[in-house]
Structure formats: structure tokens, C-alpha cells
Amino acid sequence: MSSIQLPSMTMLARAKKEKGLYQNPVPTAIGGFSTMWKVLPEFLFNRGKAYREPKKTLGPFLTRSEVYETAPASGLRVTWFGHSSLLIEIDGFRVLVDPVWEDRAAPSQSFGPKRFFAPTIALEDLPPLDVVLVSHDHYDHLGSHTHAKLARSENTARARWVTSLGVGERLRKFGVDSARITELDWTESTEIPAAKGGAVLRITGWPARHFSGRGLTDRFTTLWSSFVLEGPQHRVYFGADSGYWPGFAEIAAQYDRLDLVMLEIGASNPLWEAIHLGPDNATRAYTEMAAALAEKGGAGLFMPIHWGLFNLALHAWKEPVERMLEIAGERELPLWLPEPGQPTEVVAGQPLVSRWWERWE
């Protein structure tokens, strides 16, 4: 592992701890019981008005495994499985990001937010993987049954798990061998060699404004991160979960360009905007990243993530993407919105809006 060498006057730094708990890069208040009491009545009694879940089951969406037998012509291809679960094929490497194949994003599979559509492909039918990347330990980003199955799968025989500090212990409990886990602090990098040698994929952990924990008593005990995947030809920013903070531009400035910027737009609300961007703040973050790269290679296409699969907030299930389209029309944003489960090439200068959700009005 290595650390990025940054100027002395920088917002980017390794994560800090106070009393054993990780801290955000800027002061951040996380809602507790007071927030829950404000939200609970609206969640319980206004459920039908908000259409937080589709009236009908979405899909089926199907991923044809044979597509992966042919490398992407562009060198960059993404399969979005819904929410923040993705397969990124970048310059000959395959990276599975925040996989959650569980039926519910919750401690129990008997209750909690249920997925809107079934997984588009079985885990065992995924192609051979080089990396399983885990941003943080929340249930909608880290599925215990998913990783237990991946740990035993033939398609992860050479894969490394790359994650944030402390999350490795979670993965070990799910059956992932310690020798296969790399934990990154903010500003730290690791390099993954290609199966046949030669090229490497560099993965760098960067700050995000969020929190961690799988219960009420373990918050902030593990780290949360965003990441940049840096191949020989392409750069991808995976923003994971984050509220807005002034560090997005500085992260972008560390690179010659970004071909694809992934930022979350769902599960947002004014009560917790410090830890979730939502469409408006995602636009602000992307715009600042683009400005930082304006005289270099640019910020590339903007992919909204963290929406369309789970009921995790008070907004209607389509509201994040519909608001995103409104903003994009006003700001001429280069949105990249593929259909779930479809391996889709990322081509510079070619935005994509599939409008798949409109089939379920």
C-alpha cells in the first residue's frame, strides 16, 4: 500500500479518530433518536402518498453472462445491478462494487427494506473477478450472505477484497480469508496486478462524509470511503455514500481526468443531507469536480447511483432520477443512466438516458 503525496494545504488526509471512533472530514451531525421520531410518523402514515415503492414488481431484468466473454471495445463497461452494486470492467480488470444480492437490506431477511427487483444474474454466473470493492459496512452496501457465497465461489479464485479500515473484520466473519483482504485508509492506494502480469489497477481510498455501523452501538467503529479506480487507460470515481463537502474538487484534481463519476442521488432528505447528497448536491459535487479538471481531461460522464432498488427514505422511488433529469436539462449535464443488469459500454462524450423506469408508471 502507498499514500498519495498531497500539498500541505489540503482537505484530504488520513482518517482521524476520537475516542476510538472515526471522524468525518468536516464536522458532521448524525441524526439519532430525535431524527427518528421526526421521520417515523411520516414513514408510517404517509406511505401510500409518497409511492416509495413501485406499485408492481419491477423487471425481470436479466444479465446475459456470455456478454462478459468479449472484452468491451471501449475498455470501460459497467453493469449496474441497482442501488450501488456494480460490475466495472476497466482496462482488462473486473471489479465488483458493493455487491448486495440479499432480498432485504437489513439485519434480518424477514423484515426491512425489500428489493424492488430480483438480482439480474446469479453470483456464480458472474465472470472471473479481480477485485471485490466494499465502500463501508451498511447493509445496503455490504451483504453478509453475498460475501459468504462469493468467498466460496470459483469466480473469485484470484480476487482481492479491497475495503475501508476496519471492514475487513466484518468480511472475515463472513468467510473471506484474511490474506485476501486489503484495508485502505483515506489517501492510501493499493495496486492489483493483471492475471497475466504487466498492467496494474490502482485503487485509492478517498474521504467521504458519511458514517458506518451495522447497529446502534457500533457507529463510526469502521471507516467509510469513496474510491478512484485507475487503469492504464481509464479513471473511474465511485463516490459511494456521502453528503456534500468541499473536498470533491480536490479529489478530482489528483487525476489527469475522470472518465466516469458515480455519485449518489437516492435515500436523501433535508433531515440527513449532511450524509447523503441527493440530486441537487450531487450536481454541485459533479460540477466542482468538472471545474477542477476543466484544463485537463475533464470529468467525463456523470452516473447517478444509490437509487431504484430499496425503499430507504421518504421520497417516491422514482423521484431522485426524475429530479436528476430536471437538473440535467437545465445544466446540460452528461448523465449516464443505463438499464439495470445491462453491461453497457462507457464511451467518452456519449451520455446515456435509458428511461427504463418509465415502463412502470
Q: Where are the domains of the chain?
A: 31-360
List all residues 6 or more positions away from 215 whose beta carbon is below 8 Å from its beta carbon.
Answer: 107
List all residues 6 or more positions away from 5 whose beta carbon is below 8 Å from its beta carbon.
Answer: none
Lowest-confidence segment of 31-35, 228-232, 325-329, 355-359 by average pLDDT: 31-35
Cell reading at 215: 447497529
272-315 pLDDT tens trace: 899 999 999 999 999 999 999 999 999 999 999 999 999 999 89
Q: Look up the pTM and report it.
A: 0.96
In angstroms, rounded to a whole number, what is the distance separating the alpha carbons of residues 94 and 128?
8
Query: Residue 97: which H helix or E strand, with range?
Result: strand 93-97
What mean pLDDT comes out for the span 79-108?
98
List all residues 6 or more positions away from 209 whose beta carbon is below 8 Å from its beta carbon.
Answer: 24, 25, 26, 28, 242, 243, 244, 245, 274, 275
In angstroms, rounded to a whole number, what is the distance separating the alpha carbons of residues 201 and 130?
9
pLDDT in the model for residue 174? 98
What mean pLDDT comes out for the span 318-337?
96
For residue 47, pLDDT beyond 90 = no
Q: With bands split at pLDDT 50, 70 and 90, how would you rate the model's confidence at 41?
A: low
What mean pLDDT comes out for the span 237-264?
98
31-360 maps to CATH 3.30.70.2190: no
Write down how long the chain is: 361
Do residues 11 and 25 make contact, with C-beta atoms less than 8 angstroms apart? yes
For residue 336, pLDDT beyond 70 = yes
pLDDT in the model for residue 35? 56
pLDDT in the model for residue 34? 52
Do residues 128 and 118 make contact, with C-beta atoms less than 8 angstroms apart? no
Q: With bands split at pLDDT 50, 70 and 90, how would you rate the model's confidence at 358?
A: very high
**In terms of Cα–Cα distance, which of 361, 358, 264 is closest to 310?**
264
254-277 pLDDT tens trace: 999 999 999 999 999 888 899 999
Do residues 131 and 150 make contact, with C-beta atoms less than 8 angstroms apart? no
Query: Residue 227: which H helix or E strand, with range?
Result: strand 226-230
Do residues 281 and 243 make contact, with C-beta atoms less than 8 angstroms apart? yes
Q: Which residue has the cell 473511474?
A: 236
For residue 18, pLDDT beyond 90 = yes
pLDDT in the model for residue 5? 85
100-129 pLDDT tens trace: 999 999 999 999 999 999 999 999 999 999
Phi, psi of 67 (to 5 degrees): -60, -35
In angstroms, rounded to a whole number, what is the distance separating the alpha carbons of residues 71 and 148?
28
48 compared with 189, residue with greater pLDDT: 189
Cell reading at 180: 485476501
